[in-house]
């Protein structure tokens, strides 16, 4: 496999002259991504890497255990049911599953894409591409220091920085780091930068920065993290915006030759991980994700082009976590880099310390906020140093979310964004005006104008829980021994009683299958449902394989509705 570099981004695979003609159905579900990839140019035999977006199986506020089970069921349907892949096939097809997001990344050819697009449970498909660290050739100005005196310090909050990792031993971060992760390699398309040599690593040491010998850009994540949450420990002259906040660094970059690229499948895996661990740090909550990354193309709204990334950002936002993304450093006047072009991200442009527009900053309708991004002093691999770019502006805003959330713990992403927008200094560029943040003023607005804008407590709804999660396969021989085994499932009403039914499609439960009860009320403790083969019917069947998908439906609120595949092989 070769790596195709296009317009500053990377696409796995190669494109041959002979092309597949995509159906209208596939075109309708396909997000074009950010590169020059075209469905019309894809060779029939060529497998490229994609991210498949499934219809959401349950609201994210539902019981997390049940949601994860239903997401896994959907992924199994794509991999085994639609594409016919076995578990053993997943490594060679570079499959990446996601725990809390209804997505799955894999390699597929055009014919397989057509099969995916034809299935109603597949909502969208996007190509897996790579973006780069946003490099160019503070706290006083943003009002952070004044906000500290108002209680907006970042205490009990954290910022997750998806970047090139951090120098974990740097004194600017001790003892701030509460967790680490790495998602790298694009499923095998590029060289992983995870310290363990795998495509995924979590825990101590997982986000250790790549070395300067790998790339001159390896300092990037360390510098960005310092701007957001660094703590100098002495005079505070070098402190980050939310200087009492904690840090969750995540390495998302991979190595391709001498360049670094972050594949969308790895970026989404990192966002999925953040969503999964968001409440796992006792009193500390993740307030924001910072992504100072992007491509070199001017984009308007790209929600339909990057549906998998949009799904991840929306999920985090619904759970109280802002995704802050740099606008890009190309000097575009009518667009921003991807993925900052996603409407629900907080996209940040850069200004000078005199409140002029930074010459390199992308501008346009997609820019939500500005922050200083020129000659910003922060941590680097060898100590401290200055850097410029929208990469440096974005963590000012991510830190602002953590600082403001520490002062008003119940404030939603919408409320904090509105406070920053309504309190900032107006910056006008190319006819479009957006505010440069002033955190102290935003804190005043947040506590006096919108005190009721709080994150509502999540209460788990009454949920149908069916155990175990696997299906049942039974083989019957044409012999005198007609004895059959049975499969037992339990139905449980978690967080309250729920009604349930067990069905098998429009034709009903087949006559060769017996189910001990097809309707009832699931309570706590659980009740057992037994399924078995009807021997009298089975004895008259021709040799072959018979399948039935049993649907366990929560008739009260549909939370926990799930399926189990029953396979009967008559020999």
pLDDT of residue 563: 84
Q: What is the mean pLDDT of residues 382-398?
A: 93
Rounded to whole angstroms, the Cα distance separating 571 from 476 reads: 6
Q: Are 295 and 326 in contact (CB under 8 A)?
A: no
Catalytic residue of the set 63, 73, 163, 305 = 163
And the tokens for 359? 């010459």
Q: In which residue are the tokens 């006096």 written?
A: 448
Give the start-to-end residue ranges of the domains of the chain.
3-127, 132-448, 463-570
Q: Fold for domain 132-448?
A: Rossmann fold (3.40.50)
pLDDT of residue 157: 94
Q: Are 188 and 199 in contact (CB under 8 A)?
A: yes
pLDDT for 451 beyond 50: no
pLDDT of residue 15: 37
Residues forming beta bridges with residue 291, ordered by sequence position: 325
Catalytic residue of the set 391, 406, 441, 450 = 391
Q: Report which of 128, 157, 99, 131 is spatially closest to residue 273, judged by C-alpha positions.
A: 99
Give backbone dihedrals phi and psi of 66, rounded to 5 degrees, phi first.
Answer: -65, -40
Catalytic, 223? Answer no
3-class SS letters over 340-394: CCCCCCEEEEEECCCCCECCCCCCCCCCCEEEECCCEEEEECCEEEEECCHHHHH
pLDDT of residue 236: 45
pLDDT for 6 beyond 60: no
> What is the side-by-side order of every strand in the sheet holding 122-127?
96-97, 103-108, 48-54, 122-127
Catalytic residue of the set 138, 155, 170, 220 = 220
Those residues whose C-beta lies under 8 Å from the C-beta of residue 80, and which sit 6 or more positions away, are 86
Classify each residue of 48-76 as buried b or exposed e, where b means 16 or more C-beta atoms within 10 Å of its C-beta. Answer: bbbbbbbebbbebebbbebbbbbbbbbbb
Q: What is the mean pLDDT of residues 515-521?
A: 93
Mind listing the pLDDT tens digit for each residue in 304-313? 999 999 999 9
Reported residue count of the chain is: 571
Catalytic, 243? Answer no
Q: Are 489 and 518 in contact (CB under 8 A)?
A: no
For domain 463-570, say whether CATH 1.10.260.30 is its number.
Answer: no
Mind listing the pLDDT tens digit for each residue in 229-252? 998 744 445 689 999 999 999 999
Orientation angle between helical segments 307-318 and 264-277, nearest 10 degrees: 20
And the tokens for 270? 């990192």
């Amino acid at each position: 496999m070769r790596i195709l570099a296009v317009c500053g981004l990377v696409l796995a695979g190669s494109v041959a002259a002979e092309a597949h003609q995509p159906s209208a159905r596939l075109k309708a579900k396909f997000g074009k991504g950010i590169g020059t990839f075209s469905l019309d140019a894809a060779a029939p035999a060529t497998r490229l890497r994609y991210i498949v977006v499934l219809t959401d199986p349950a609201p994210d506020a539902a019981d997390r255990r049940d949601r994860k089970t239903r997401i896994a069921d959907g992924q199994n349907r794509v991999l085994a049911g639609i594409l016919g892949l076995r578990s053993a096939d997943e490594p060679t097809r570079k499959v990446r599953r996601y725990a809390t997001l209804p997505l799955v990344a894999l390699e597929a050819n055009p014919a397989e894409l057509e099969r995916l697009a034809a299935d109603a449970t597949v909502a969208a498909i996007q190509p897996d591409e790579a973006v780069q660290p946003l490099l160019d050739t503070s706290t006083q100005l943003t009002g952070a220091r004044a906000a500290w005196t108002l209680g907006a310090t970042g205490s009990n909050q954290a910022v997750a920085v998806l970047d090139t990792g951090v120098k974990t031993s740097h004194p600017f971060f001790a003892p701030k780091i509460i967790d680490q992760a790495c998602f790298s390699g694009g499923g095998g398309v590029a060289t992983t930068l995870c310290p363990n040599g795998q495509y995924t690593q979590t825990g101590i040491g997982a986000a250790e920065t790549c070395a300067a010998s790998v790339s001159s850009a390896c300092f990037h994540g360390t510098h960005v993290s310092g701007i957001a949450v660094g703590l100098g420990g002495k005079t505070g002259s070098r402190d980050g915006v939310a200087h009492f906040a904690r840090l969750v660094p995540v390495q998302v970059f991979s190595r391709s030759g001498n360049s670094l690229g972050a594949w969308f499948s790895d970026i989404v895996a990192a966002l999925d991980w953040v969503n999964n661990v968001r409440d796992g740090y006792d009193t500390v909550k993740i307030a924001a994700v910072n992504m100072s990354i992007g491509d070199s193309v001017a984009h308007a709204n790209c929600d339909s082009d990057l549906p998998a990334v949009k799904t991840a950002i929306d999920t985090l936002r619904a759970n109280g976590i802002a995704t802050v993304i740099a606008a890009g450093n190309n000097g575009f006047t009518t667009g921003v880099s991807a993925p900052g072009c996603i409407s629900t991200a907080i996209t940040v442009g850069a200004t000078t310390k005199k409140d002029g527009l930074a010459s390199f900053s992308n501008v346009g309708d997609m820019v939500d906020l500005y922050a200083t991004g020129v000659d910003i002093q922060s941590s680097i691999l060898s100590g401290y140093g200055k850097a410029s770019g929208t990469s440096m502006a974005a963590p000012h805003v991510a830190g602002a979310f953590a600082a403001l959330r520490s002062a008003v713990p119940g404030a939603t992403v919408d409320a904090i964004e509105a406070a920053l927008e309504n309190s900032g200094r107006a910056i006008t560029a190319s006819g479009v005006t957006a505010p440069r943040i002033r955190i102290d003023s935003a804190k005043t607005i947040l506590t006096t104008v919108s005190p009721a804008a709080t994150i509502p407590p999540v209460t788990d709804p009454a949920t149908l829980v069916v155990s175990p999660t696997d299906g049942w396969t039974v083989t019957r021989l044409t012999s005198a021994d007609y004895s059959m085994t049975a499969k037992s499932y339990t139905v449980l009403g978690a967080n309250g009683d729920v009604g349930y039914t067990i069905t098998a499609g429009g034709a009903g439960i087949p006559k060769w299958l017996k189910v001990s009860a097809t309707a009832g009320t699931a309570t706590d403790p659980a009740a057992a449902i037994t399924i078995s083969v009807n021997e009298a019917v089975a004895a008259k069947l021709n040799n072959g394989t018979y399948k039935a998908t049993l649907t366990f439906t929560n008739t009260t609120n549909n939370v926990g509705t799930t399926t189990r595949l029953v396979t009967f092989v008559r020999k």
